[in-house]
Chain A
Amino acid sequence: MKILYSLLAVSISIAFAWVGTASGGLHYLFGVVFPAVAVFLFLFGIVYRVVRWARSPVPFHITTTCGQQKSLDWIKSSPLDNPSSTLGVIGRMALEVFFFRSLFRNTKMELKNGGKLVYGSAKYLWLAGLVFHWSFLIIVLRHFRFFLEPTPVFVGVLQNLDGFFQVGVPVLFMSDILILGALSFLFFRRIVTPQLRYISLISDYFPLLLIIAIAATGVLMRYFLKTDLVAVKQLMLGLFSVSPIVPEAISPLFYIHLFLVSVLLAYFPASKLVHMAGIFLSPTRNLSNNSRMKRHINPWNAPVKVHTYEEWEDEFRELIKGAGIPLEKE
């Protein structure tokens, strides 16, 4: 059901853009208005989310430590898995963000006959996740050839690396294959594993399907149903310079692609995709384990009623005396 709803949402988006531009003549709407609104929602939404997170304080120092603490000089500590300095935290975060360090630890538990538990290595999620995210990043960066004139140098470098194998005309980008492969894996994993299917929501299937659709329409345009790239660049440059023009010659396929991206951008801040920003603010990961070295301040440090020594002594005075324990007041 949930998969169906997600599929439906993506299909309707595609149909909407297709009908709108192929027969509705709404090129301006799909080429200018929607993308502009989406970019606005994206930027505004992300800033809003981050500001909201940042406004909630971090009252306690709750680092999750994943290695030896820094204590005695002669005991080797784990500066990256249990950092005690800011530099260590930067290292830890970099490993998380660029290489999904924690996910790399993943294991799969199995209960064997006779009641023995074994924990096997389970790196596929890590691998597919990493491949998807890196491909996504590379593809986004490659797109800058449409957004900026002259095309930035890094785009050329990326294109050369990405098309390293020089297969086909136009040259096949590895990231295109990899992203579709990784996304398919992530999607089927959710459907096939009973536990994952059990926990998955519409908001888990939908972004996967949406990104698959974006990548697929992109691949279609690049390798099969060619689009007028000069016109596309005109449109994008117009958008980015806030003086939009709508060239005639662009195919509906392009508008479908662009609309799906608009949906992704608009949806992004309201969804789990904000993990992109949230990961940097996660207190279990971005705090160094120095809570005994340095006092951490809680801005709302709640006042509480405590039981004082004097009250305690008053209540138990005779017993304390009888036991020969020193008193404050005889």
Chain B
Amino acid sequence: MTMSKKHPKPEELVAIDYQPRRRDWMDPHVEFRKGTFNYSANPKSMEYLGLPFVRKWQPTEDDWKLPPNWKEIILNGLRERIDRFRSLRIFMDICVRCGACADKCHFYIGSGDPKNMPVLRAELLRSVYRKDFTTAGKILGKLAGGRELTIPVLKEWFYYFYQCTECRRCSVFCPYGIDTAEITIIGRELLNLVGIGIDWITTPAANCFRTGNHLGIQPHGFKDSVDFAADDLEDITGIKVNPSVNRKGAEVLFVVPSADYFGDPHYFGFLGYLALFHEIGLDYTFSAFASEGGNFGLFHSHEMMKRLNAKIYAEAKRLGVKYIIGGECGHMWRVLHQYMDTMNGPADFLEVPKSPVTGTVFENARSTKMIHIAEFTADLIKHRKLKLDPHRNDNHRITFHDSCNPARAMGLLEEPRYILKNVCNHFYEMPENTIREQTFCCGSGSGLGTDENLEMRLRGGFPRANAVRYVHENHGVNLLVCICAIDKATLPGLMDFWVPGVSVGGLHELVGNALVMKGEKERDNDFRGTPLPGKEEKVHV
């Protein structure tokens, strides 16, 4: 398919051919077509992080300026990881190529490219594993499905490991739970060993390492954003909230993805947090150093993930808080739920989280000492500690997008739904095969959300958008609610492209809108500045 114009049209993208090509997949071949890949990492960022083989190169160039012993480095890296990760070794060995995972990947559905079937994505690495690490492959080579690691194979890895959002949908359907995300994560790790990474991951990681957040916002900038939000909230509600930064002795450290205080529509949810915590009188503080819960290190390597995440416990300890609450973010919660305690723990200097308002002890976070804001808020609502007026959200007909990681690496499914049903009156689920553990990725996760990769993102987001279109057409849904910073950043564009007329919002934006605060003035507008239901005329007089 050729894409002549800069911006493809929906009719063009939807003409997908699922017929595999004639060329055998074992014959490596990749074409770096504009719009379907990411640019290489900025040398400055690589240097700052101390990454190896810093140089200028681009995927479209013939010569990637690899170190002379690149192959040895990668094969040694693979050997090391086979010995370190049972997941990898098992996943390399037991796939039966039943194909159950094939049409479960949003990138395959949206592109028809057979190498985007999770099974083939994994085979790109598995074939090299067979060639160099199994007896049959060493002797029989291609007959046993083995493939020599060559530069074209390496280029294929780069292309297809960055066309996987590490969403784990394939893993749900695989009879052995083979998780292609795990293979992609390790595959990217291998590429980074020879200095092949993408800028949209490496630069945020470098920023985060230096300033504490991906956007590179420095301490005073962070403080300004928080103060600015407090002022905005006062304009809307008439209530002055007083959030603190780096305050020692607070009960709770609150960590959010940085987009929450800088991005649109994230910011409206940030106002929601501030309103909520003020209303219940929570004794909490932000940290200008742990000013990022998101972790682009996860998309780079296990080591980078650990490096970036260290600050969260470090700050909790320094500030002397009792426990930590985390905001709305998908991959951030993958790290917090499944990696943090192991990597950066033990958190024995913290206490088991206990809601100061309801007295609920969060046994599910007994060891990590970190809870999800949706767990916290759902508990408040259940105990009727919040006065909510769902009519204030009546302008919205809402559906909920389960973000990949909270759904498939945590199981946070009911908490957000419970909250939603209490803060709005019009909630509609998307079709069954597209929600909860079967949810479809936004198509831009795992560091792929760049403009240069737009076509691939629109393709990858197609199944998600399609399900939204269904509720848009059948129930008039006009707001897609989610609990992930990447979703909030990328779904608006995806909606404009595939389902115009649907906007994107956060869960705590709706909580904040519905929350009736003690002593608030009569609100005319919601957090976005649009008139609340019934207030439309007033604004226009």
Contact = CB atoms under 8 A, between A and B. Distances in A.
Interface of A: 5, 49, 52-72, 74-78, 81-82, 84, 96, 100, 102-103, 105-109, 111, 115-117, 119, 125, 129, 193-204, 270-272, 274-275, 278-279, 281-285, 289, 291-298, 300-302, 304-309, 312, 315-316, 319-320, 322-326, 328
B100 A115 contact: no
5 residue pairs, one from A and one from B, having the closest CB atoms: A69-B411, A278-B94, A284-B177, A323-B220, A115-B14
A194 to B, nearest CB: 6
Contacts of B104: 107, 109
A96 B219 contact: no
Contacts of B20: 194-195, 197-198
Contacts of A129: 98, 175
B84 A62 contact: no
Interface string B321-347: 000000000000000011101110110
A72 B315 contact: no
A195 B114 contact: yes
A60 B339 contact: yes
A77 B346 CA distance: 26
Given A63-B409, A289-B411, A307 B311 contact: yes
Contacts of B368: 291-292
A66 B174 CA distance: 12
A69 B412 contact: yes
Interface centre among B375, B379, B411 (most CB of A within 10 A): B411
Contact of A60 (B114, B248, B342, B438): B342
B99 to A, nearest CB: 5
A102 B177 contact: yes
Contacts of B306: 302, 304, 306
Interface string B462-486: 1100110100000000000000000
A110 B233 CA distance: 47
B486 to A, nearest CB: 19
Given A62-B87, A68-B413, A102-B174, A292 B366 contact: yes
Contact of B109 (A84, A109, A116, A308): A109
B179 interface: yes
Contact of B168 (A49, A64, A289): A64
Contacts of B212: 312
B120 A58 contact: no
Contacts of A64: 168, 171-172, 177, 179, 408-409
A322 B19 CA distance: 62
Given A58-B86, A108-B103, 11 more contacts: A53-B90, A60-B338, A62-B409, A64-B179, A72-B364, A274-B93, A284-B87, A309-B315, A312-B211, A320-B220, A324-B223
Contacts of A272: 93-97
B418 interface: yes
A201 B99 CA distance: 12
A116 B466 contact: yes
Interface string B65-106: 000000000000000001111111111011111111011100
Contacts of A115: 10-11, 14, 466
B265 to A, nearest CB: 26
Interface in B306-322: 306-307, 310-311, 314-315, 318
Contacts of B256: none
A292 B319 CA distance: 22
Contacts of A117: 109, 462-463, 466-467
A293 B345 CA distance: 12
30 contacts: A64-B179, A65-B437, A71-B415, A72-B360, A72-B378, A78-B411, A102-B177, A105-B173, A106-B100, A117-B462, A119-B433, A195-B102, A195-B114, A201-B145, A275-B176, A278-B90, A279-B175, A282-B91, A283-B86, A291-B368, A292-B367, A293-B367, A295-B367, A306-B306, A309-B315, A309-B318, A320-B288, A323-B288, A325-B223, A328-B318
Nearest to B135: A270
Contacts of B280: none
A156 B431 CA distance: 49
Given A106-B100, A199-B99, A300-B84, A70 B93 contact: no
A197 to B, nearest CB: 8
B411 A72 contact: no
Interface centre among A125, A300, A325 (most CB of B within 10 A): A325
Nearest to A297: B342
A299 B433 CA distance: 38
Contact of A306 (B176, B307, B414, B466): B307
Contacts of A65: 407-411, 437
Nearest to B436: A67
Contact of A69 (B98, B182, B410): B410
